[in-house]
Structures are given as C-alpha cells and as structure tokens.
Amino acid sequence: MRYQKRRKQSLRNSFYRTSSIRLGKPCGIKLALLGSELHEKVYVSLPVEVFGQERLACLNRSLYGLKQSPRCWYTTIDNFLISKIGFRRGRFGCCVYTHDNGTILALYVNDMLIAGALGEVKLVCDKLKSKFEMVDLGTVSHFLGMVVSMDKNYHTISLT
C-alpha cells in the first residue's frame, strides 16, 4: 500500500512521460564566466608591483568577479544556442531551450542538462564542445539540488 502511494506521487511529479525521450548526460562548461566578450569598456587598476607605478588596463574579455561576467556569459551561450544550433528560448523560463527535433536543454550558469533522443543529444553535445571546453558529468542523478530518477518500465523521469 505504501509503495503504491509513493508510486502515484512519483508519477504526479514527473515532468515528462514518453517512450521516445531519453535523458542525456549533464554537462558542465569549464571557465564559463571567464573569457566571454565584454560589450562595454571595463578598466581595472593594476597592482603597483606589476609596472612599478599605478596603471589602468582595459579588459577585452570578462574575468571572475566582474559584475558584468554573468550577463556576458549568458549572452554568449544564448546567442550560440539560438543562432548556431537552432534552439528556441522558452517563453516562461529564459534558461530552458527547446529544439524542433524535441530536444530540451536546461541551463543554469555553467551547468546544463539535455533531454532528447540519444542521437540528438550527442549531436548537441558535439556542437557545444566545438565552441566551449566542456566536462561530461556522467549519468544524471542530481541537478540543481533535485534528485532525478528514471523509471524505464513506465518511461518516466521524475524530479524530487
């Protein structure tokens, strides 16, 4: 009896129920906030030990700690996903992208989770790897503090 209640609750929490969708590998992008193009002039003062006197330097790319870094990174990855891979940004969540082939990509800073047909997920990962240095995080079990469980018998993916 207790098992049936948990099973029903698990099915209620499922965000996708289909036999054609496979959960892809979670990926992380190395140095995401480092090296994105800046869209404005940013100057930093260099330590006196560098040149013997105080000097200013104009940054060409973002650095960790800059207030502009997260926005520059988001603009970079958003433009790449939309223009190069063909994703569309979600109407309600700016970090959820969908593709015409049914692939779904969830992005949180430098962590992403891709769901879709196995071949499509691999294709998206290959295109991302051609532009960004990525880390394969293996099979998904946790994402953003949520436990991800898959039931192959019922073709469900549950978040708890």
Task: State how far the Cα of 78 lies from the Cα of 6, in Å rounded to an integer.
Answer: 38
- The encoded tokens of residue 88 equal 């569309």
Number of domains in the chain: 1
pTM (predicted TM-score): 0.72
DSSP assigned state of 108: E
Q: What is the pLDDT of residue 134?
A: 84
Asked whether the predicted pLDDT for residue 15 surpasses 50, the reply is no
CB-based contact 121:132 (threshold 8 Å): no
Q: Which residue range(s) make up the domain with 127?
A: 2-159
- The better pLDDT of the pair 37, 132 is held by 132
Pairwise pLDDT comparison (65 vs 126), residue with the higher score: 126
Copy the structure tokens of residue 6: 């948990």
Higher-confidence residue of 58 and 151: namely 58
Q: How many CA atoms lie within 13 A of 27 on its CB side?
A: 24
pLDDT at 34: 78
pLDDT at 25: 61
